[in-house]
Amino acid sequence: MNTELSAASRTKIGAEEGIPPKRRCSPFADAANEARFWAKVDQKNGCWEWTASTQSRGYGCFGINGRIELAHRISYQHFYGSIPDGMQVLHRCDNPPCVNPLHLFLGTFQDNMDDRKVKGHNGLFSGERNGRAKLTTEEALAIRDSVAPATLVAELYG
């Protein structure tokens, strides 16, 4: 179990952010779920890295109350309270597995898109850098310069 951050320390972080304790509502149904959550967090660096299962984009996943939830959203709710409808939990650190509440903030979908664009993280990789690419750059250029019928190109490259 991760003991570096005690329950008192976690409460203090919320207080330092100016959040009255009565306004904070933990998403954990019981102490066992809370202990299970924090046991999956590595707090050795500024980013508190989620060490358990992640989804395809690297965000931590945690099973709680019969559902799979994103770990950074659970951390946000634990420290700051509920997430209003239409809001997302964004990362100042741009590190998807991070659950450090000081690195998390609320924003709209548009805020998230604007933040990604400003930071150069538009997520749109072209060519071979795209994980779903079926052709190499060399193959794509050969096809573009080819005069072969499309049916033949399809047979050759799938």
Each residue's pLDDT tens digit, 11-45? 555 555 554 454 455 677 778 888 999 999 999 98
- Please provide the distance, in angstroms rounded to a whole number, between the alpha carbons at the two ends of the chain: 50
Rounded to 5°, angle at Cα 53 from 47 and 59: 50
Q: Which residue has the tokens 């570096």?
A: 4
CA atoms within 13 A on the CB side of 45: 8
**36-76 pLDDT tens trace:** 999 999 999 899 999 999 998 889 999 988 889 999 999 99
**84-119 pLDDT tens trace:** 999 999 999 989 999 999 999 999 999 998 988 888
Contact 49/105 with Cβ under 8 angstroms? no
Domains parsed from the chain with CATH numbers = 7-118 (3.90.75), 127-157 (no CATH)
pLDDT band of 77, cuts 50, 70, 90: very high
